[in-house]
Amino acid sequence: MTQLTTHERIINLICNDVAVGLSADEVSNESSLFDDLSLDSIQLVELFTKLEAEFSIELDDDDLDFQYFASINSLAGFVDTMVAAGNGDGS
């Protein structure tokens, strides 16, 4: 079984749990969470919670910075940084 990348795991979370009905084929690493995927503030909070569970990381309100949630790329970079900092196990 191939291990999914951080980008793929985030896209799966968005398509399966946050923006149900959105196809992974419609999402690229450059997709803007707000402009391209039309996530609203409630979906953003839901994604925040799903990221904690998926990557075994603990986030606080200070981490809810829109620069991290601008695109799939920026979000994956942020998550990878949190995991590398020992804030999660990434699995």
Give the mean pLDDT per block of 10 residues along the chain (91 residues). Answer: 85 92 91 92 91 92 81 95 75 49
Q: Distance of alpha carbon 91 from its chain centroid, rounded?
A: 14
Give the pTM.
0.86
- Domain ranges for the chain, please list them: 6-17+29-87
Q: Which CATH code for domain 6-17+29-87?
A: 1.10.1200.10
Q: What is the dihedral of CA 61, 66, 70, 72, to 10 degrees?
A: -10
pLDDT in tens, 68-81: 888 999 999 999 99
On the CB side of 66, CA atoms within 13 Å amount to: 6
